[in-house]
A and B are shown apart, each in its own frame.
Chain A
Amino acid sequence: AQKVTQAQTEISVVEKEDVTLDCVYETRDTTYYLFWYKQPPSGELVFLIRRNSFDEQNEISGRYSWNFQKSTSSFNFTITASQVVDSAVYFCALSETDSWGKLQFGAGTQVVVTP
């Protein structure tokens, strides 16, 4: 069963607009970790953010921010004032405590930012 769901297949925005990517996860663990990765056309997965299940504080890092809500099992990610270089596929991933370091990825959301 899919443990990480990214319902948005593709999002298209014009430069400087904000983009919010949705991620819903499923786990029975009380301790788990959530990640966001970016995959530009070159193919390399670039690490963006990591949160553990005990820290629901939402933060902002530059143009990136995230909203972690355990009550709804969601870990949404926002890019503020998008730029063309933000065009990529974004993946949400889950790491559970009983699965060593295995990352379970969602299907990804393609973000297209046009000038």
Chain B
Amino acid sequence: ETGVTQSPTHLIKTRGQQVTLRCSSQSGHNTVSWYQQALGQGPQFIFQYYREEENGRGNFPPRFSGLQFPNYSSELNVNALELDDSALYLCASSLGGLAGETQYFGPGTRLLVL
């Protein structure tokens, strides 16, 4: 196990609602990255937080937002949910926000939007 935890494990929402997903990083890691994985596809980078600041962002609309806390845990918030937001959301922690750092993933949150 990586020591990265995510909650909840599963979630069902309806279109237009808002959702918050949570991630606790591995001990000693100060960076959290979030990925969206649609069924049958590879994970897509959403954004990364390094020491409570957004360190980079992928091609996701502003209704995807995040937060990192002083203990380096993190939240992913998605507003105005759409059907296409149904996916597995993965968070990963790493030692620092540098290229090449190995990222260790949590078990993911499966979100279903109806």
Name A's B-contacting residues (CB within 8 A).
4, 31-33, 35, 37, 42-47, 50, 52, 91, 93, 95-108
Please give me the 3 A-B residue pairs with the lowest Cβ-Cβ distance, nearest first.
A105-B42, A33-B100, A45-B105
Q: Give which listed residue, A4, A35, A97, A101, contacts B48 with CB less than 8 A.
A: A101
Measured in the bound complex, the distance between the Cα atoms of B45 and A99 in whole Å is 11
Question: Knowing A43-B110, A100-B48 touch, does A91 contact B43 (C-beta < 8 A)?
Answer: yes
Query: Do the beta carbons of A99 and B99 come within 8 Å of each other?
Result: yes
The smallest beta-carbon distance between B31 and chain A, in angstroms, is 6
Chain A residues closer than 8 Å to B108, beta-carbon distance: 43-44
Shortest distance between the CB of B20 and any CB in chain A (Å): 20
User: Counting CB contacts under 8 A, is B8 at the interface?
Assistant: no
Write the nearest CB–CB distance from A114 to chain B, whole angstroms.
21
**Chain B residues in 8 Å Cβ range of A31:** 99
A102 neighbours in B (Cβ, 8 Å): 33, 45, 48, 56, 58, 99
A101 and B43 contact, Cβ closer than 8 Å, known pairs A33-B99, A42-B107, A43-B110: no
A101, B97: Cβ atoms under 8 Å? Answer: yes
- Are A103 and B45 touching (Cβ within 8 A)? yes
Does A100 lie within 8 Å of B98, measured CB to CB?
yes
Residues of A within 8 A of B7 (CB): none
A93 CA / B107 CA spacing, docked (Å): 18
Known: A45-B90, A102-B48. 10 other contacts (CB 8 A): A44-B105, A50-B102, A95-B99, A101-B56, A101-B100, A102-B56, A103-B45, A103-B92, A105-B43, A106-B42
Scan residues 62-101 of chain B and give those whose CB is less than 8 A from a CB of chain A. Answer: 88, 90, 92, 94, 96-101
- In contact, A35 and B97 (Cβ under 8 angstroms): no
* Complex Cα–Cα for A102 and B47 (A): 8
B90, A101: Cβ atoms under 8 Å?
A: no
Q: Which residues of A contact B90 (CB under 8 A)?
A: 43, 45
Whether A101 touches B98, Cβ cut-off 8 Å, given contacts A44-B105, A44-B107, is yes
